[in-house]
Amino acid sequence: MTKVLVVAGTHSGCGKTLFSLALMAALVRRGYSVQAFKAGPDFIDPGFHALATGRASHALDGWMTDSAAVRDIFMRYTVHAQNRPDVAIVEGVMGLFDGASGSGEDGSTAQIAKWLNAPVLLVVDARSMARSAAAVVRGFAGFDPDVRIAAAVFNRVGSDNHAALLREAMETHCPDVALAGCLGRDEALVVPSRHLGLVTALEHPLTTKRLDAMAGWLERGVDVPALLDMLPEVHPGLPPLREVVPVRARIGVARDAAFCFYYEENLRLLQEAGAELCFFSPLADTELPDVDGLYFGGGYPEVHAGGLTANYGMRQAVRAFSESGRPVYAECGGFMYLMRDLQTPDGDILPMCGCFAARCRMDAQRRALGYREVTTMAPSLLGGAWTVARGHEFHYSYIAEKDPEALAIYKVRDRKDWREESEGFLRNNTLGSYIHLHFGSNPEVAPAFVDACVRLRRRDAGCADVQARLVASR
């Protein structure tokens, strides 16, 4: 059976990502197979999880998807996986109880832990604390009786004496919460960050040497076998239906250092709807694969803008594909790539694809952050009018010059109310938006995208057939 643990933190920056990666590396080094998950809408941490475990990591989000979808994703890649893992590790988001609002648990790590009936290990930054650290753990342990905090680990511990004080405080004031260990400061192991979070796994790969260093750091302070012994096993339940779906269309997915923000569930749902996914690189490839539709995820096009601009052949191929009326879907960084040009903070203007006659400009300040629910006001490749889906928005760029011919079809609601800003821009059959949608929030979205590709392929095939008959009749 697969054992499960949720790694949560007291707050962002406490060290839960480093601890999670180090634990994954330590388990793999001991011969265990590990399946990672990430609570919340994060794209970057799962990339590092995959490098540490050798398996794709999957997002579990309680605001974008419901409890049934979260449990299905979790079970699909643990006890019902073809290569069932020994251990499942869910890395949390922000602080344990932080989510979409200050009054409820939607979108929080705590919500995911309850839905999975999984124990929580709390990572606490113990810098400049001793007895107070036990007070923090006690407060977290008593905040919600339905969340089972089974253990705590103290990070950034300064000395052996500091560790002894922390252990004494826990034994005295939190005897019901196991102290999994005390970890010393090692800033050399921390993954560097940039404006949207950590740098991506493609840009800062975790080498075997670095993973070994992380595992060694963890094992110097944590008894890994003892931690494993205290973890419960996942009860299998009913396996998900696995139907063999015939391929109905081919969708090109942009995936490289510039475009790497995708929910793995989005890709699986497209395949389940009959899509064959063909990955390509807007940075390295000079032409598109033979496909019926295109999907551009988010990423860092601003960081790789020079390379994207220099690849003239790819930019022209994407624009021609869009102008042909075939389906193109782009989110955030992918949307930026489809605009006419991108203006850097220094004022440099770099041409992009031109599918939209809009200019994107980078800002030094964050322009948007938070959960979003969209309702379409017109038919699109996502489905008919009034299609509803949920997602997340986080970016530093903005539209400095709008495309006068693009139709804004999204009505957007955040956690408080409907927003006034226009979103979801449609031109030809190309849909671009700053919002990353989770296709699991609406099971009709992925099939609608594939259906749109099938319809346009049939149209093109019909036109080719008519043209062939005209040529033959001459």
Q: How far apart are CA 174 and CA 169, in angstroms?
A: 8
The pLDDT value recorded for residue 371 is 95
Which of 47, 198, 259 lies closest to 59, judged by CA?
47
The pLDDT value recorded for residue 421 is 83
Which residues belong to the active site?
Answer: 332
Q: How far apart are CA 434 and CA 397, in angstroms?
A: 9
**Tens digits of residue pLDDT in 193-216:** 766 666 778 777 788 999 999 999
Strands 368-376 and 407-413: antiparallel
The DSSP-derived string for 36-78 is: EEEESS-SHHHHHHHHHHSS--EEE-TTTS-HHHHHHHHHHTT
The answer to whether 28 and 54 are in contact (CB under 8 A) is yes
Residue 91: what are its φ and ψ, rounded to 5°? Answer: -80, 130
Which of 433, 298, 462, 323 lies closest to 373, judged by CA?
433
Q: At what angle do helices 264-272 and 445-473 cross, to 10 degrees?
A: 50
**CA 380 centroid distance within chain:** 24
The DSSP-derived string for 70-106 is: HHHHHHHTTTTSTT--SEEEEE--SSTT-SS-SS--T
Q: How far apart are CA 216 and CA 268, in angstroms?
A: 35
Instruction: Return the number of other C-beta atoms located less than 10 Å from residue 57's C-beta.
Output: 25
The pLDDT value recorded for residue 417 is 87
Instruction: Judge if pTM exceeds 0.95.
Output: no
Cα torsion for 298, 92, 61, 47, to the nearest 10°? 30
161 Cβ neighbours under 8 A, 6+ residues apart? none
The pLDDT value recorded for residue 466 is 44
Q: How far apart are CA 132 and CA 125, in angstroms?
A: 11
The pLDDT value recorded for residue 261 is 95
User: In the chain, which residues have pLDDT < 70?
Assistant: 194-198, 238, 241-242, 461-474
Q: How far apart are CA 260 and CA 76, in angstroms?
A: 23
Largest CA distance in the chain: 95
Which domains are present in the chain? 2-234 (3.40.50.300), 249-461 (3.40.50.880)
149 Cβ neighbours under 8 A, 6+ residues apart? 119, 120, 121, 122, 137, 140, 141, 177
Q: How far apart are CA 23 and CA 106, in angstroms?
A: 27
The pLDDT value recorded for residue 244 is 75
